[in-house]
Amino acid sequence: MQQNESYAVKTELSFLDIVFKLLEKWYVIVIAALVFLSSAFVYVQFLCTPMYSSTAKLFIFNTEANSQSTSELSVSTYLARDYAELIVDRAVLEDVIDNLNLKKTYGSLKSSININNPEGTRILEITVRTEDPKLSKKIVDEVCKVSQQKIVDLMGIDRVNIISDGQLSSAPSSPNKQRYIVTSFFLGIAVAIVAIFVVDMLSDKIESEDDIQKYLDMSVLATIPYANTLSKKKKVSAIRKR
Contacts of 116 (CB under 8 A, 6+ apart): 124, 125, 127
Beta partners for residue 113, in sequence order: 128
Q: Are 9 and 215 in contact (CB under 8 A)?
A: yes
pTM of the model: 0.65
- CA-CA distance, 72 to 134, in Å (whole number)? 39
Helix (H) or strand (E) holding 135: helix 133-155
What are the Cα distances from residue 203, in Å, to 2, 10, 15? 15, 10, 19
Write down the pLDDT at residue 38. 95
> Shortest CA distance to 141 belongs to which of 121, 167, 160?
167
Beta partners for residue 51, in sequence order: 174
Per-residue pLDDT of the chain (242 residues; tens, 9 = 90+): 444 544 444 445 567 777 888 888 999 999 999 999 999 999 988 888 999 999 999 988 765 544 444 454 555 556 677 888 899 999 999 999 999 999 999 999 999 999 998 877 788 999 999 999 999 999 999 999 999 999 888 887 778 889 999 999 988 988 888 999 999 999 999 999 999 888 877 776 666 666 666 666 667 666 676 555 545 555 445 445 45
Write down the pLDDT at residue 8. 45
State the sign of the Cα–Cα–Cα–Cα dihedral 31, 33, 36, 42. Answer: negative
Write down the pLDDT at residue 74. 56
Write down the pLDDT at residue 238. 47
Report residue 132 CA to chain centroid gap: 22
> Shortest CA distance to 72 belongs to which of 19, 116, 122?
122
Q: Phi and psi dihedrals of 113, rounded to 5?
A: -110, 135
Write down the pLDDT at residue 16. 78
Helix (H) or strand (E) holding 54: strand 52-61
Tell me whether residue 32 is exposed, middle or buried, using C-beta atoms within 10 angstroms of its C-beta: 0 to 12, 13 to 18, 19 or more: buried
Calculated CA dihedral for residues 213, 215, 218, 219, nearest 10 degrees: -10
Q: Phi and psi dihedrals of 51, rounded to 5?
A: -115, 140
- Residue 53 is given by DSSP the state E
State the sign of the Cα–Cα–Cα–Cα dihedral 50, 114, 63, 146. Answer: positive
State the sign of the Cα–Cα–Cα–Cα dihedral 205, 211, 215, 217. Answer: positive
